[in-house]
């Protein structure tokens, strides 16, 4: 806190001197201990909140970038596994076709292997369709986001 300037002899008895003394007495209520005004403190708080938000966004971007890189590698591995699994199924199908071909003929054995794969594909398609029918989107997010405008207006009661 600053030390008040000593009033000149002429000011101490005048109206200006009395006003200055009144201001000096009220000044501590309008300033912080380090001499900053309320406006300066609010400005500092606003700047600090803005800096914090920018840092949080930067952190989120860095985390997303790292997670995205790891997810990309994982997806690549899954794709490689899927290709290898598909090649395994192709060669297994050829093996079964060839083995059955020795017993019942190559044409009939190829037809049997193709029908088995058609049945597997139909079952997987039906299960997949049921799973897609169960998707409901983002019901909780939609509900909470619809409450935001009232909350910003200070009318939270309308959200209940």
Q: Is the pLDDT of residue 38 over 80?
A: yes
Task: Tell which phi-psi region holds residue 150, choosing left (phi > 0), alpha (psi between -120 and 50) or beta.
Answer: alpha
Indicate the pTM of the whole model. 0.46
- Is the separation of the CB atoms in 17 and 7 below 8 Å? yes
Confidence of residue 34 (pLDDT cuts 50, 70, 90): confident
Residues with Cβ within 8 Å of 104's Cβ and at least 6 positions away in sequence, in order, are: 112
Domain segments of the chain: what residues? Answer: 31-141
Strand, coil or helix: what is 37?
Answer: strand
For the record, the structure tokens of 11 come out as: 């000011």
Q: Are 84 and 93 in contact, with CB atoms under 8 Å apart?
A: no
The mean of the pLDDT values for the chain is 79
81-136 pLDDT, tens digit each: 999 999 999 999 999 999 999 889 888 999 998 999 999 999 989 999 998 888 87
């Amino acid at each position: 806190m600053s030390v008040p300037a000593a009033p000149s002899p002429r000011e101490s008895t005048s109206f200006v001197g009395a006003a200055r003394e009144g201001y000096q007495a009220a000044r501590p209520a309008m300033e912080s201990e380090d001499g900053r005004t309320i406006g300066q403190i609010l400005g500092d708080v606003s700047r600090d909140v803005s800096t914090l938000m920018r840092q949080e966004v930067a952190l989120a971007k860095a985390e997303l970038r790292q997670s995205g890189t790891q997810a990309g590698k994982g997806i690549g591995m899954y794709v490689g596994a899927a290709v290898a699994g598909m090649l395994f199924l192709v060669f297994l199908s050829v093996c079964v076709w060839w083995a059955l071909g020795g017993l019942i003929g190559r044409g009939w054995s190829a037809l049997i292997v193709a029908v088995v794969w058609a049945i597997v594909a139909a079952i997987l398609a039906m299960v997949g369709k049921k799973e897609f029918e169960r998707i409901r989107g983002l019901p909780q997010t939609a509900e909470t986001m619809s409450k935001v405008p009232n909350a910003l207006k200070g009318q939270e009661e309308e959200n209940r």
